[in-house]
Amino acid sequence: MEIMVPEKVLFETNVYTVENDLKAKTGRVRITEERIVFEGSEEVKIIHIPTIKNLKIQKDNKVGYLISGAVLFFTSLALLSFAPRIDSFISALVFFVLPIGILGVSSLLVYWWKLTKSYFLSLVVEYGKEIKIRSKNFSDLLEIANAIELVRIGAVKKLTQKKNSELRISGYQ
């Protein structure tokens, strides 16, 4: 899905987010002279740059996944330490099969932590809505934030006006 914007695109990059339902959603962010266009596979959001009040970039570590994985890992190791004393079917289930399952879940949690740790750029707009752009690369979010700030202070319009006036001056010679 692509939406056409009337202004010239000043900056464009791809971003992603991994939702709680384990879907990785990718999208594209385009910044023009007046607006930011977020294009995803399911939705399109347009924000006018003058309505943005606050920008912040934060690291989202998802430490809960790591802690849960570590706790389950050590629990499975403790249960596996009783494995030499297995003498019945029930003790085999409790001290061997269950810890192997817990070890598998803990490794999935640690992998999920590694997969989902990222940075996000939070945009707060005038009407109280907070929009988050998530990316693995800090530099992509920094470029987006710098482009937004350049548009907010009017540097882009001044630069294009200066280029146009130089073209007019050079045309008269």
The number of beta carbons lying within 10 Å of the beta carbon of residue 32 is: 20
Domain assignment of residue 26, given as a range: 11-53+137-157
pLDDT at 31 exceeding the cut of 60: yes
**Higher confidence at residue 39 or residue 21?**
39
Q: Are residues 74 and 103 in the same domain?
A: yes
Closest CA to 58 of 1, 124, 141: 141
* Mean confidence (pLDDT) of the chain: 78
Asked, for residue 142, whether it belongs to a domain, the answer is yes
**Higher confidence at residue 155 or residue 59?**
59
Average pLDDT for 125-136? 81
Q: Are residues 142 and 106 in the same domain?
A: no
Concatenating the DSSP letter of every residue in 99-125 gives: HHHHHHHHHHHHHHHHHH-EEEEEEEE
pLDDT at 166 exceeding the cut of 60: no
pLDDT at 26 exceeding the cut of 90: no
